[in-house]
Amino acid sequence: MKPYRHAAIAAKRYGGRWEDYVEVHTFFDSSKAAYPGHGHRMFLHNPFGLECAERVFGRHLVNSDGLPVPVERLGLDHCVEDVGRMVAVGEWLDLLPTTAWEGTAKRRKRTARLREDPLSASAELWGGTPEDYRPLLEFLDLPVVLTGGNPRGRLLSWNSFGAFLAERALGWTIALDGGGRLPTRQAAEDWILAKWGFIPSLQDVSENMKRDSFVRGRMAGDGIRRRKHEEAGEKT
């Protein structure tokens, strides 16, 4: 389903115009610009995507009728309309085989230092204090937190698309203690390079993904019908 159709449904459910919602729904499909296959959904059609959207758009948007609408609710709707339900980050990861490049980063001195201790190494390289870089590390590691500590969660965010997400969620630059700024994406891309030995694309990550029914959206109809049934029950 394209962003316009998601937005039109939202306008019927929450009021306002479709234009009020289309940017949020475009965001959830932005991974398709980097990887046009169905597998692009694994990167934002999940709780990580909801967290990202709230950081970009805030917890609520106000539609043209003056009504607040939770961004999380719009994200949940988007996932139901595309894949039938909210799919956990871990479920997406279960569809991925172990890739040959995981854990094979080249051990150059600078690369190894960034890999082992990105906060301190970044402060040494670019200035500021290690804490200046913590918000970036916490953002990139959010999928790990959402999977209860599974390090493979980094596959969703430590990639070329994740660097752009970090820039959008955290801002163009990192403010350094004592003055100065560093481009957010510069730090993110250097960390990703140190982690894997290269900066993987979304296709690199999702290559050979198992094509379960929710990946292709075959459960979307069931999810929409279930939502309508629940809404009808709430009104009675």
Annotate 74-87 with DSSP letters as a single string: HHHHHHHHHHSS--
Please give the Cα distance from 194 to 105 (Å, whole number): 7
**Which whole number is the average pLDDT over 203-217?**
76
- Give, for 24, the enclosing helix (H) or strand (E): helix 22-28
What's the confidence (pLDDT) of residue 56?
A: 96
Listed in order, strand segments (DSSP E) in 81-236 are: 173-175, 181-183
Please give the Cα distance from 170 to 130 (Å, whole number): 16
Compute CA distances 105 → 24, 37, 115, 136, 141, whole Å: 35, 27, 9, 21, 18
HSE, side-chain direction, 13 A CA sphere, residue 227: 20
What's the confidence (pLDDT) of residue 194?
A: 92
For the stretch 30-76, pLDDT in tens is 999 998 888 899 999 999 999 999 999 999 999 999 999 999 999 99
CB 127 within 8 A of CB 179: no
For the stretch 97-153, pLDDT in tens is 888 788 666 656 667 889 999 999 999 999 999 999 999 999 999 999 999 999 999
Q: How far apart are the first and last CA of the chain?
A: 30
Compute CA distances 60 → 22, 67, 184, whole Å: 14, 10, 25
